[in-house]
Amino acid sequence: MSRTHADPSTRMGYLAWQMVHVMGTRLEKALRSLDLTAAQHNALQHVGWTPGVSAAEIARRTGFTPQSMGAAVNALVDRGLLARHDHPSNRRTVQLTITDGGAKLADMAREVVERLDGEALAALTPAERAVVHSLLLRVLAELNPDALPPLGLRGAGSGAA
């Protein structure tokens, strides 16, 4: 009985997994200059998009575990970049808001992400970049729409990783 092995580069999941790991490694390294982890970066971006969001909701949106997102949020609160507020109608939920310092750091992190995106897509023409972006957006909207910022913020350099 012969076994044939399919070329992994023919599988979308394999390519996506490779991209996630390459881009994630580059992002973590680049964010170190801002003293941020990828989880902290995502927390800052999501709180900036939707003030009052909870750490648990950010974890659901981003695919981080609730524990790692909780640790990321705690670190950002300790640094004065995020603030916690009691939810007006649910004692078990804590809402997060971004501070002025957090907003400035989120903007700096967005610039880092934009640079990394540019480097990753340098081999593509502007038209090809637009196609890749459009297709990734459609796939993500189907698989995890909560990972995307509100429609009004999309395309405005949202910068989440």
Is the per-residue pLDDT at 154 higher than 70? no
pLDDT of residue 113 exceeding 80, the answer is: yes
How do residues 13-31 score in pLDDT, each as one tens digit? 899 999 999 999 999 999 9
pLDDT, position 151: 66
Taking CA 13 as the corner, what is the angle to CA 10 and CA 19, rounded to the nearest 5 degrees?
Answer: 95
- Asked whether the whole model's pTM tops 0.75, one would answer yes
Question: For 69-84, what is each residue's pLDDT tens digit?
Answer: 999 999 999 999 999 9
pLDDT at 87: 76
Q: Closest by alpha carbon to 160, among 14, 61, 57? A: 61
Spell out a b/e string for 32-55, using b for 16 or more CB atoms within 10 Å of the CB, else e: eebebbbbbbbbbbbbbbbeebbb
